[in-house]
Every structure is written in structure tokens, then in C-alpha cells.
Chains A and B, each alone.
Chain A
Amino acid sequence: MAVSREQVVQELYARWLGAVARIAFAAALVAFVLYAWGVLPTFVPLDALPALWQLPVGEYLARTGAPVGWGWLRLLPNADYLSLGCVALIAAVTLVCYLAVLPILLKLEERLQAALVAAQIIVLLVAASGALAAGH
């Protein structure tokens, strides 16, 4: 039955969405507390931000030497980039949920939905890869 198949997939997506989103939000909160309380070192100090956040992103990057692409990964020991990593986790929640439902769609022989989900996974992976992220 199409409806019950749909419910199986929808329930699975809801379970993954609830769990992964909760983990990502909790991680973002913890990382931000470490950032705001000055527990970890920062790449750009919080008290320098008011002079920087009014600049266009190109000028901000030039002034701070902040990286683009995946360059932020090597700065994760800094509280601001640890916090950015957790925000990136939030952006990755949908990708995880799509990866979770793809096998069940294939198992249920929902080929068209599986193809659409696979295409969306490719779009999200291309976006996450940074390969096409052009600059100013």
C-alpha cells in the first residue's frame, strides 16, 4: 500500500530529523557558551567584531585573514570556528536524513522517489563540497 509505505519513510525521516537536529543544536549551544565565556582561544576575538561585522565579507576576510572553503576546519581548536563547525552540523542535518531514508526507499522499490532523493543528496554534497562557491 502506497500510503503505508509513505508513512514508513516519513516516520523514519522524522526520527532521524528529531535526533540529528537535537544533537546539532545542543553542540551549537555548548560551542557558543565556550566562545562567549572565553574558555577557548579565538581566531577573531569577540570584542573585535563590532569593527568587523559592518564590513562586506570580502573586506572582513582581507582584514582578519579568515579562510574560505574548507579552510575553517584547521581552525576548529578556536572557539569561533568550533562554533561555526556546529552551525555547519545544522546545515548537514538534512543530508543525514536523506542518506537515512534512501536505503529504505530502494528496499520498498520506490524507485522514482529514491532517484529524486539521490539527486537531492548530490545537490547537497556539491553545495557542501564548496566546489562551486564563487566569490565576489
Chain B
Amino acid sequence: MAETWWVWLVALFAISFVIGVVAVVAGVGGGVLFVPIVGGFFPFHLDFVRGVGLVFALAGTLAAGPSLLRNRLASLRLAVPLALSGSIASFAGALAGLALPTEVVQTALGATVLAIAVVVWRTGDAAAGTGEADALGTILRLRGRYDDPAEGVAVDWRTRRTLTGFAAFAGIGFLGGVFGLGAGFANVPVLNLVMAAPLKVAVGTSGLIISIVNSSAAWVYIHRGALLPALAVPAILGVMLGSRLGASLLARTPASVVRRVVIAVLLLAGARALGRGTGLWP
């Protein structure tokens, strides 16, 4: 038993690498795959898995942030108010998650992940929305422009339904804090479908928001002793290397194939978490 620690850490590095590749290609946050898979199939307690899940998602988004910002695929101006709303809720969520009994969190995680699988399945590629800005979006000047080399055009954008977006980010942040998820799966639809940010800006800004929101929740796990560096560092290294490979594979992999793989993995991992929480699949 004592000699097996490195086997699990190598396995953790390997699965983090694979999740890093898949998450980039599929356009979902890595944490949403990491927590249910590692929580369901590795021997680590869910308290530690959630802490690592937060820094896992944090590391991937921090690494990608500079190039997204420079290419204007992420908007700091858009991220700042939404991340503020999300990080207050995420901090509360992390406190709630560590105070709840494990079975309750495990069951809720399973139900949430299964719901996410349905959201990923039902959410299609949305067109960029460039309608009229609302009053709050105008006051906050939530607008921008980016060059789309694929289309050869410069896209001007502005947000609408800004207040609804704030409320949605608070809800997403709370769930992210409770379960240690990156929550990119939910950020992108809210930014794109609700607030009408173009899809590429929504994906880029979602990553930036995760990097800000998870920073506050991660401290809760650090201070509660629920962040084991022996698990965190291999996961961080794995996702960073995997994300780089994923970024290079992005253009060559059919999105529909990866999307189906992600849905299958989420269904399996969600069922596993639900089974463990309810005692039906111990």
C-alpha cells in the first residue's frame, strides 16, 4: 500500500493530461470532467478532489489567459463585473461544500453533472449576437471588437440582458465553489446565448472568468487543509501539457466526435457520483 502513492500520482497526471486535451477540443471547462472522473474512479476523498479540481481549472485558464487577452478573444472589461458576481458566490459555495456531508455533495454532484451532460447535448453552436445593448451594459461599456481570421472580418459586439447575466454568473459561481468545477460549460452559454457575446469571445472570456472566480474559492480549500499539493501539482502539470496539445489538435478534430465523447464521459461520471452518494454504486 505504502509504495502505491506514485502509481496514483502518475495516473492522476495521465488523466489530467487527457482531460486537458479533451477539454480544449470540446470547449468545456476541465474541472467539470476532472471532479466526477477523479472523484468516482480514484481513491481520493471528494474533499481533496474538489480542492484540486479548482486549481486544475484555475491553472488551465491562467496559462491560456495572456494569448486570449492579446488576441481580444477574451474581454477583461466584460470579465470584471461578471467575475465579481461569480467569485462572491463561489466563495460562499466553497464554504457550503466543505460544511455539507460527503454523501449529500456526492449525490448533488452526480445530479448536476448529469444535468450538465444534457446542457452540453442540447446546446448547439450559437450565432454571434450583435443586437442593441441594454442600459447596464451601456453604463459598464461592455462592448468590444476582435478580428476573426477565419472569416476575415472584424466583429463589433456589445452585450444585452446584463443583469440576468450577473444573476446567472452568481448561480454558476456558487455551484462551481460547492463542487470544485470550472463551470466553463455554463459560462459560455450564458455569455453567448443570454448576453449575446460572440461565441469566440464567450469561450475566451469564460476562461478568464474561471481564472478569477476559482482564485477566491481555492483559498477556502487551502485554509481548510483540503488542498493536498501531492495531488494538485501532478494535476496542474497534466492539464497544462494536455491543454497545449489540445490547442494544436483543435483544428483537426471533428467537434461532433469530441462532443459525443464528452457527453458519454459526463453521463458515466455523473452516474458514478450519484451511485456513490446514494449508496447504489459504492
Contact = CB atoms under 8 A, between A and B. Distances in A.
Main secondary structure of the interface of B (DSSP, over half): helix
A53 B91 contact: no
Interface residue range, chain A: 35 or more
Interface in B150-176: none
A11 B61 CA distance: 17
Nearest to B214: A91
B84 to A, nearest CB: 5
The residue in B70, B76, B223 that gathers the most chain A C-beta atoms within 10 A of its C-beta is B223
A133 B223 contact: yes
A31 B211 CA distance: 22
A47 B2 CA distance: 5
B202 to A, nearest CB: 17
Contacts of B66: 14-15, 17-18, 21
Contact of B43 (A50, A56, A67, A83): A50
B45 A124 contact: no
Contact of B44 (A10, A53, A72, A93): A53
Nearest to A119: B84
B77 interface: yes
Contacts of B211: 93-94
Contacts of A60: 45, 47-48, 225
Contact of A136 (B4, B87, B91, B99): B99
Nearest to A3: B145
Nearest to B91: A127
Interface in B38-81: 43-45, 47-48, 55, 58-59, 62-63, 65-66, 69-70, 72, 75-77, 80-81
A57 B230 contact: no
Nearest to B63: A21
The residue in A25, A31, A51 that gathers the most chain B C-beta atoms within 10 A of its C-beta is A25
Contacts of B95: 132-134
Contacts of B70: 10-11, 14
Contact of B224 (A57, A93, A116, A119): A57
A106 interface: no
A21 B62 CA distance: 7
Interface stretch (B113-121, B232-240, B253-261): B232-240
Contact of B88 (A61, A123, A136): A123
Contacts of B234: 32
A68 B225 contact: yes
Contact of B212 (A113, A120, A130, A133): A120
A37 B31 CA distance: 28
A104 to B, nearest CB: 12
A92 B227 contact: no
Given A7-B72, A10-B69, A53-B44, 15 more contacts: A3-B145, A6-B75, A6-B77, A25-B236, A35-B229, A36-B6, A48-B2, A50-B43, A84-B229, A86-B229, A87-B236, A91-B219, A91-B222, A112-B140, A133-B220
23 contacts: A10-B75, A14-B69, A25-B59, A32-B233, A35-B229, A36-B6, A46-B230, A50-B2, A51-B2, A57-B48, A60-B45, A68-B223, A87-B55, A88-B222, A91-B215, A93-B62, A120-B80, A123-B91, A123-B216, A124-B216, A127-B87, A133-B223, A134-B98
The 4 tightest CB contacts between A and B, nearest first, are A83-B229, A130-B223, A18-B66, A14-B69
